[in-house]
Structure 1
Amino acid sequence: MEHGPVEVLFLTFPADAPLADVASVLRKPVDDGVIRLVDCVLMLPAADGTVSVVDLEEETELPPGLAGLEIDAHDLLNDLDIQVFVDSLGEGELGIAIVYEEVWAKRTVHALQGLGAEVGLFAHVPVEDVELAFAAAAAQD
Structure 2
Amino acid sequence: MGPVDYLVIEFPGNRMTGKGLPLLLDLVDRGIIRILDLTFVRKDADGSVVGLELGDFDADGELDLAVFEGSSSGLLGQDDLDEAGAALEPGNSAGIIIYENLWAAPLARELRRGGAQLVAGGRIPVQALLASLDAMEESGGSAAA
**Aligned equivalents of 1:111, 1:48: Cα separation in 2:** 50
Measure, in 2, the Cα distance between the counterparts of 1:46 and 1:24.
28
Matched ranges for 1:28-47 at <5 A = 28-44=26-42
Runs of 5+ in structure 1 lacking a partner?
57-61
Q: Which residue of 1 aligns with 2:80?
A: 81
CA distance in 2 between counterparts of 1:48 and 1:129 reads: 31
State the 1:129 CA deviation. 2.6
Question: Counterpart of 1:103?
Answer: 102
Report the number of matched residues. 132
Q: Which residue of 1 aligns with 2:118?
A: 119
TM-score with structure 2 length normalisation? 0.71
| Structure 1 position 89, deviation (Å) | 2.3
**How big is the shift at 1:25?**
2.9
CA shift digits 1:110-138 (9 cap, x unpaired): 13433554435433222223223434454
Say if 1:38 and 1:71, in contact at 8 Å, map to a contact too: no
Find the counterpart in structure 2 of residue 7 from structure 1. 5
Q: What's the counterpart of residue 26 of structure 1?
A: 24
Q: CA deviation at 1:10?
A: 0.4
Shift of 1:37: 0.9
Distance 2:25 2:83 in 1: 26
Aligned to 1:91: 90
Question: Unaligned stretches of 5+ in structure 2?
Answer: 57-63
Counterpart of 1:38 in 2: which secondary structure? Answer: strand
Using a 3 Å threshold, how does the CA distance of structure 1 residues 30 and 4 change in structure 2: closer, same or farther? Answer: same
Contact 2:42 2:91 in 1 (8 A): no
Q: Which moved more, 1:131-140 or 1:100-109?
A: 131-140
* TM-score normalised by L of structure 1: 0.72
SS in 2 for 1:96: strand
SS at match of 1:100: strand
Residues 119 and 23 of structure 1: is their aligned pair in 2 closer, same or farther, counting only changes over 3 Å? same
Counterpart CA distance in 1 for 2:88 and 2:135 is 32
Contact 2:43 2:89 (8 Å CA) reproduced:
no
Deviations 1:67-94 (A, max 9, x none): 1137643011221111122233223311
